[in-house]
């Protein structure tokens, strides 16, 4: 299978790296494009061994699966550029925030096979979480193809398109929330006397470990939380502070606000 990326930035490179590292696709079967003004992105892609071009239509001609990995504002221009080169044999996978399947389909030839994905940045370290929705002209097997490609950089799941904005509010935007949590925990560690680098590592490993426990044990997080809180112990004192600050309510507000923002973008 030949893979093309229109847009050669952070997400395209993360996905390309995942595909190569998984052994599923070799670098010489991947091509990426970017305008001349953004040569630096293509230099980074060349360093990964990818083919590169300034010509978006060439990406389509040389690919079976074409990722639209440009910023949302560039999608309509790119779609009109590639439309003449597209056939029903191409699968078009958009990762652009807020741009609906119907919107993309309307810019491409009729019956174009379009998939909309919401990935997230931990894809860079192959710990991403992506959800994808299938367009009206997709065929049997397309969802499996997309799931296989995305799972090279983490967890991937098919959802109805109506869930893509909530996914954006949760896992698409979530890494930034969690970076702030790590920073806050580390600041707390520094305040009580830990060296900064140690505090940061402990905070990051704590999040990683808690996430792995939820995923690998299948135990509800409330139960896991109860399990570490002994009567009058330090954890329940810390938890009382978090709940006094409305931690869970604030997280819920954050997901809702980001979801609404994503809906407004579309």
Residues in touch with ligand NAD (CB under 6 A): 6-12, 33-35, 38, 41, 56, 69-72, 74, 77-78, 95-97, 118-121, 172
CB of 73 to ligand NAD, least distance (A): 9
The helix or strand, by DSSP H or E, that contains position 76, with its residue range, turns out to be helix 75-82
Nearer to ligand NAD, 121 or 229 (CB): 121
* Contact yes or no for 155/186 (Cβ under 8 A): no
Instruction: Tell me the torsion sign for CA atoms 30, 35, 36, 41.
Output: negative
Closest CA relative to residue 59, chosen from 92, 37, 26: 92
Q: Could you give the CA distance from residue 90 to residue 29 in angstroms, rounded to a whole number?
A: 15
Integer-rounded Cα Rg, in Å, for the chain is 21
Nearer to ligand NAD, 9 or 154 (CB): 9
CB of 120 to ligand NAD, least distance (A): 5
* Contact yes or no for 135/165 (Cβ under 8 A): no
Nearer to ligand NAD, 122 or 189 (CB): 122
CB of 193 to ligand NAD, least distance (A): 35
CB of 118 to ligand NAD, least distance (A): 6
Residue nearest to ligand NAD (CB): 9
Nearer to ligand NAD, 26 or 265 (CB): 265
Q: Could you give the CA distance from residue 196 to residue 190 in angstroms, rounded to a whole number?
A: 6
> C-alpha angle with apex 148: 144 to 151, nearest 5 degrees?
130
CB of 93 to ligand NAD, least distance (A): 11
Nearer to ligand NAD, 167 or 200 (CB): 167
């Amino acid at each position: 299978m030949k893979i093309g990326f229109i847009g050669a930035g952070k997400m395209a490179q993360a996905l390309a790296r995942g595909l190569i590292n998984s052994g599923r696709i070799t670098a010489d079967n991947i091509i990426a494009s970017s305008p001349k003004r953004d040569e630096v992105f293509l230099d980074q892609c060349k360093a990964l061994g990818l083919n590169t071009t300034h010509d978006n239509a060439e990406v389509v001609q040389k690919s079976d699966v074409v990722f639209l990995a440009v910023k949302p504002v560039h999608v309509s221009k790119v779609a009109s550029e590639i439309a003449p080169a597209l056939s029903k044999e191409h699968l078009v996978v958009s990762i652009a925030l807020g741009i609906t399947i119907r919107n993309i389909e309307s810019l491409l030839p009729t019956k174009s096979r379009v998939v909309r994905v919401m990935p997230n940045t931990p894809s860079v370290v192959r710990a991403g979480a992506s959800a994808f929705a299938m367009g009206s002209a997709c065929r049997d097997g397309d969802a499996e193809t997309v799931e296989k490609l995305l799972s090279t950089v983490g967890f991937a799941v098919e959802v109805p398109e109506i869930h893509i904005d909530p996914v954006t509010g949760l896992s698409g935007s979530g890494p930034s929330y969690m970076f702030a949590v790590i920073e806050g925990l580390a600041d707390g560690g520094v305040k009580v006397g830990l060296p900064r680098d140690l505090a940061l590592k402990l905070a990051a490993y704590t999040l990683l470990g808690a996430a792995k426990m939820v995923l690998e044990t299948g135990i509800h997080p409330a139960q896991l939380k109860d399990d570490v809180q002994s009567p009058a112990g330090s954890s329940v004192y810390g938890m009382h502070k978090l709940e006094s600050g409305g931690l869970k309510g604030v997280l819920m507000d954050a997901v809702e606000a980001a979801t609404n923002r994503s809906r407004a973008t579309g």
